[in-house]
């Protein structure tokens, strides 16, 4: 019975560590999907609302990026953008994304493309940082959690 509880303890600790490390992976995936979305947006879409809606219906987003796409579709219909459900982004990042969304379709095509290119340049830096975090922090969290779980189980034995 004691060994069973120790194994359960190790599994619970590792599950918690895995869920924490998933946040870093999700943030990388979100930025990567946003980059691809904006590049396709820049290349294939004129900035008319009907074309934007058609483009949004064609993509199949996952996880947090799906929340952004859903909110963007609501914004196109109602003019109200709510990014509070994007848990991965801090307030500054949400503000930058909101600013980009609010400005799409308000200028001529050349200005729009320049704004998208500027945002994509800043997004590239965030994507690089998220990739570094994913590749360094996620394995570290899992290894430290495993060591903690093993150490705790040794103490309990």
pLDDT at 43 over 80: no
Other C-beta atoms closer than 10 Å to the C-beta of 130 total: 20
Q: Roughly what angle, to the nearest 10 degrees, separates helices 63-78 and 49-58?
A: 160
What is the pLDDT, as a whole number, of residue 38? 83
Encoded tokens for 59 = 């993509």
What's the rounded mean pLDDT across residues 69-89? 82
Q: How far apart are CA 157 and CA 142, in angstroms?
A: 22
What is the pLDDT, as a whole number, of residue 46? 59
pTM over 0.85: no
- What are the structural domain ranges in the chain? 30-140
| CA-based end-to-end distance of the chain | 12
Angle (nearest 5°) at CA 30 between 27 and 84: 80
Other C-beta atoms closer than 10 Å to the C-beta of 80 total: 8
């Amino acid at each position: 019975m004691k060994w069973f509880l120790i194994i359960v303890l190790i599994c619970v600790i590792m599950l918690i560590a895995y869920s924490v490390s998933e946040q870093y992976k999700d943030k990388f995936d979100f930025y990567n999907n946003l980059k691809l979305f904006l590049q396709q947006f820049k290349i294939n879409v004129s900035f008319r609302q009907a074309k934007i809606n058609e483009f949004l219906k064609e993509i199949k987003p996952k996880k947090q990026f799906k929340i952004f796409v859903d909110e963007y579709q609501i914004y196109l219909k109602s003019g109200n953008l709510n990014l509070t459900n994007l848990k991965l982004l801090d307030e500054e990042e949400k503000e930058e994304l909101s600013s980009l969304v609010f400005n799409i379709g308000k200028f001529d095509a050349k200005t729009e493309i320049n704004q998208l290119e500027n945002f994509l340049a800043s997004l590239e830096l965030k994507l690089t940082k998220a990739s570094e975090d994913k590749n360094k922090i996620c394995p570290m969290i899992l290894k430290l959690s495993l060591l903690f779980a093993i150490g705790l189980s040794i103490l309990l034995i």
